């Protein structure tokens, strides 16, 4: 193998190195709640830590001596770089000693208290060793892991200093832990930040007690100087690691920030979509005009897939399942953020379609669909308890609605419906007055439509007040020169008439058409016919009457 090939292989190995990401506080808090500390059962939690360490050693084949003899081994720098479980092994070992000391703290006997102090001192020593180990493998861990391990080790050291009544060291370590947890709570997403805020609040009583004892001591001024110097070093380290953490989270999109809210992105497909969207927005100016609309369609499809992935995860969550089954929007920042990105892509696509449209009805249809999409998203904002964004977009919707009404008025003006065009242009002007756009594209549309509405309203008003005269193309058959010479002469050829016209008698219709009966004197005699019918009825006799009564003669 040549030197160049060896250099390429080495570079590939360096690129394949993955940084350790160990959420120490989340891991420990979940284990404590599941294995005894929910009920203050430190013995059960200590046994869990012991079993956990044994399982990790067995998996890593990290033996503590032979069968007959125990030889304790410390985790070296080489071993820690091989697997992140070695770091977890050190943490669980510290946690085991701390749980044992808390268990013995409830006993009042002197031997138990002595044993408790030894266990706490042992945990503090292991915490110092873990801090040194993390410094040696700093390039192998991400900034969040480094900060969390440093905060945890500072908490263990502060617990031992509290037992020794070493108030300056205790106060400095507790303050360091609280500062790191507050910084992580302000940097990470809202759903992850809660556990760090709660841990910071739990440290506050111990800090106040240390501060009280510091004020009571005689050399309080020198101690405050010591604490101030320590805090300056802590602030420098924390600020450096927080800056790295923000860069790492923004590059990997583990946490994204939107409208002042930090949103955790755990789904890999969603993270890929957000990276593609970021790249698309950065390179949108370099895409050809004929390919831009197709690219928008592809991004819309990816956005729909990302929304479906998040919706599937929320459907498994019992807190959001009922809301999703009702067809409503859950109160989830990531879900609403993806819908907002989809809306931005949709508005960009419709902007291109409107720029290429030529007819007024096409323009009005495009903006009408835009208003429909905005209305649907505004409804989602109010359902997700984000009324601020809903009110902002509701104001911007008026701009697109005004554009729709403007092009509808132009369409009515072209077809000669002047009154309808005037009403629509007046409505467009009112909507523009209520609109307060904040997006750059909406501001541009607002200024363009405002100028067009102003000019168009003047032309429509003039058309309503002064209707256009229609000139006939038919030539006159009269001699124009002769007519001009004899303007006051009216000959017989022009057909003069009398006005008002003379009255003429007109035959009227008869008011009643049956008055002719008075003129008829001889009506036909019908008595013979009546007598014949009566005689035929009498001919039935008794037999006919009996048959009718019995029923067999009836019709």
For the chain, the domains span: 17-141, 166-252, 264-464
- What is the C-alpha separation between 200 and 181, in angstroms, rounded? 6
Token pair in block for residue 424: 């629509």
- Could you please report the per-residue DSSP string of 210-277? HHHHHHHSTTHHHHHHHHHHHHHHHHHHHHHHHHHHHHHHHHHTSEEEETTEEEE---HHHHHHHHHH
For position 110, what pLDDT does the model report?
87
For position 69, what pLDDT does the model report?
79
- Residue 351 burial (10 A CB sphere; 0-12, 13-18, 19+): middle
- What is the C-alpha separation between 126 and 456, in angstroms, rounded? 81
DSSP 522: -
Per-residue pLDDT 10s for the chain (555 aa) are 444 444 544 444 444 457 788 889 999 999 999 998 988 899 999 999 999 999 999 999 888 877 777 788 889 889 988 899 999 999 999 999 999 999 998 888 889 889 999 999 999 999 999 999 998 888 888 888 888 999 999 999 999 999 998 999 999 999 999 999 988 888 777 778 889 999 999 999 999 988 888 886 645 444 555 455 445 445 556 666 666 666 665 556 667 778 877 787 878 888 888 888 888 888 887 887 778 888 888 888 988 888 888 888 888 877 777 777 777 777 778 888 888 899 888 888 888 888 888 888 888 888 888 889 888 888 888 888 888 888 888 888 888 888 888 888 888 888 878 888 888 888 888 888 888 888 888 888 888 888 888 888 778 777 777 665 444 445 555 567 766 776 666 655 555 667 788 888 887 766 555 555 556 556 677 777 775 544 445 555 555 555 555 555 554
The class that CATH gives domain 17-141 is: mainly alpha
- What is the C-alpha separation between 32 and 45, in angstroms, rounded? 7
- What is the C-alpha separation between 398 and 464, in angstroms, rounded? 27
Q: Of the candidates 142, 164, 155, 145, which has an alpha carbon nearest to the alpha carbon of residue 207?
A: 155
Q: Of the candidates 303, 298, 301, which has an alpha carbon nearest to the alpha carbon of residue 335?
A: 303
For position 366, what pLDDT does the model report?
87
For position 490, what pLDDT does the model report?
60
- What is the C-alpha separation between 183 and 243, in angstroms, rounded? 11
Q: Of the candidates 168, 165, 140, 163, which has an alpha carbon nearest to the alpha carbon of residue 21?
A: 140
Token pair in block for residue 224: 């405050």
- What is the C-alpha separation between 212 and 163, in angstroms, rounded? 16
For position 489, what pLDDT does the model report?
63
Q: How many helices (H) and strands (E) does the chain have?
A: 21, 2
**Dihedral sign for Cα atoms in the order 143, 147, 153, 154:** positive
Q: Of the candidates 188, 187, 231, 238, which has an alpha carbon nearest to the alpha carbon of residue 207?
A: 231
Beta bridge partners of residue 20, listed in sequence order = 141
- What is the C-alpha separation between 245 and 230, in angstroms, rounded? 22
Neighbours of 410 (CB within 10 A): 20
For position 483, what pLDDT does the model report?
66
User: Can you give the pTM of this predicted structure?
Assistant: 0.58
Query: At CA 433, angle to CA 430 and CA 436, rounded to 5?
Result: 135
**CB under 8 A, 24+ apart: contacts of 386-389:** 386/336, 389/259, 389/336, 389/340
Beta bridge partners of residue 141, listed in sequence order = 20
Token pair in block for residue 60: 């890593």
- What is the C-alpha separation between 440 and 450, in angstroms, rounded? 15
H-only helix segments in 435-526: 440-465, 480-485
Token pair in block for residue 498: 């009398």
């Amino acid at each position: 193998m040549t030197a160049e090939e060896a250099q390429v292989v080495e570079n590939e190995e360096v690129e394949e190195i993955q940084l350790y990401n160990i959420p120490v506080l989340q891991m420990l808090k979940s284990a404590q709640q599941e294995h005894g500390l929910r009920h203050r059962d430190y013995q059960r939690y200590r046994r869990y830590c012991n079993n956990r360490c044994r399982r990790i050693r067995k998996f890593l084949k990290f033996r503590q001596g032979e069968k007959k003899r125990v030889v304790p081994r410390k985790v070296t720098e080489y071993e820690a770089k091989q697997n992140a479980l070695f770091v977890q092994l050190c943490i669980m070992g510290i946690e085991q000693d701390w749980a044992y000391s808390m268990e013995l703290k409830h006993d009042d006997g002197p031997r138990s208290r002595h044993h408790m102090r030894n266990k706490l001192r042992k945990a503090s020593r292991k915490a110092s060793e873990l801090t040194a180990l993390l410094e040696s493998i700093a390039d192998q861990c991400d900034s969040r892991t480094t900060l969390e391990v440093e905060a945890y080790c500072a908490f263990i050291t502060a617990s031992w200093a509290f037992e020794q009544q070493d108030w300056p060291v205790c106060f400095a370590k507790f303050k360091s832990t609280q500062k790191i947890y507050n910084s992580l709570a302000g940097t990470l997403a809202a759903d992850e930040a809660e556990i760090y805020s709660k841990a910071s609040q739990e440290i506050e009583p111990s800090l106040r007690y240390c501060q009280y004892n510091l004020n009571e001591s005689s050399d309080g001024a020198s101690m405050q100087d010591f604490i101030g110097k320590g805090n300056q070093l802590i602030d420098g380290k924390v600020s450096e690691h927080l800056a790295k953490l923000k860069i790492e989270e923004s590059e990997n999109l583990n946490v994204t920030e939107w409208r002042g809210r930090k949103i955790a992105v755990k789904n890999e497909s969603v993270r890929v979509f957000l990276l593609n969207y970021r790249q698309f927005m950065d390179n949108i100016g370099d895409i050809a005009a004929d390919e831009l609309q197709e690219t928008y369609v592809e991004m819309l499809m990816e956005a729909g897939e990302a929304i479906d992935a998040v919706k599937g995860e929320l459907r498994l969550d019992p807190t959001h399942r009922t809301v999703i089954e009702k067809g409503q929007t859950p109160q989830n920042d990531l879900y609403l953020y993806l819908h907002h990105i989809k809306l931005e892509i949709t508005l960009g696509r419709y902007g291109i379609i409107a720029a290429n449209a030529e007819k007024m009805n096409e323009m009005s249809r495009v903006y009408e669909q835009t208003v429909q999409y905005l209305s649907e998203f505004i409804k989602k904002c109010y359902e997700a308890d984000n009324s601020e964004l809903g009110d902002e977009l509701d104001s911007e919707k008026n701009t697109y609605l005004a554009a729709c009404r403007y092009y509808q008025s132009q369409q009515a003006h072209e077809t000669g419906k002047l009154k309808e065009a005037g009403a629509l242009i007046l409505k467009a002007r009112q909507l523009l007055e209520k609109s307060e756009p904040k997006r750059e594209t909406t501001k541009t549309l607002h200024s363009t439509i405002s100028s067009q509405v102003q000019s168009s309203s003047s032309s429509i008003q003039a058309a309503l007040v002064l209707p256009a005269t229609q000139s006939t193309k038919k030539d006159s058959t009269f001699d124009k020169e002769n007519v001009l010479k004899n303007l006051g002469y009216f000959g017989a050829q022009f057909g003069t008439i009398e006005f008002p016209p003379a009255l003429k008698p007109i035959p009227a219709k008869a008011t009643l058409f049956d008055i002719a009966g008075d003129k008829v004197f001889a009506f036909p005699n019908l008595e013979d016919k009546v007598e014949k019918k009566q005689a035929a009825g009498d001919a039935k006799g008794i037999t006919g009457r009996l048959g009718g009564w019995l029923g067999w003669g009836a019709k």
